[in-house]
Chain A
């Protein structure tokens, strides 16, 4: 398994500001993903964070709104830019462990709960 630390765990933000969420994993991983869980809804994939290159975004999500970095195998950030109340969600980091320990399942951080006023 893996221990996934997300920061911040929660925050209250003002409209028009930006917030960066960090995800740190305690073991080598091959893939990292960012999901969004809007209130009362299921999880929607935002993007796959690629090490050393631009993230791969899903339909409906763009880099200008959700810039993502992944400078190494165990760390990634997601920024929610120019926030509006519609961005109030839980944002979750998810990882696939490296080959050798990979059982195919994804592990999730505890999430970052953002409220935009």
Chain B
């Protein structure tokens, strides 16, 4: 079956530090990959996505590249801000089965301190 493994949190960084949150996946087909973000007290929002190998998703300074050879989709940001404090979820969607449902990682809580 499909699965997503994220690095364990919580992660605490100082403002302007470099961020990497690792994500690897297992899938039977060729999934689409997503990063969702959940700010304190809010619902999930799509941060970025990639639908095929070597695609790079980017948004709000965050980037992630779909690496088929390493089955990875690591999230990076060059300079984090306090406002980036949130829980980040990596997810895959195996739409080849026609279901479109998402399989999520366990989430990584990021805290950015001034």
Contacts and interface: CB of A to CB of B under 8 A. Distances in A.
Interface of A: 31, 33, 41-45, 48, 92, 94, 96, 104-111
A43 B43 contact: no
A96 B89 contact: no
Main secondary structure of the interface of A (DSSP, over half): strand
Contacts of B51: 104
Given A42-B105, A105-B49, A92 B44 contact: yes
Interface residues of B, number: 21
Interface of B: 32, 34, 36, 42-46, 49, 51, 89, 93, 95, 99-102, 104-107
A96 B100 contact: yes
B99 to A, nearest CB: 7
A42 B100 contact: no
A48 B101 contact: yes
Contact of B100 (A31, A43, A109, A110): A31
B43 A110 contact: yes
Contacts of B36: 108
Contacts of A33: 101
A42 B91 CA distance: 10
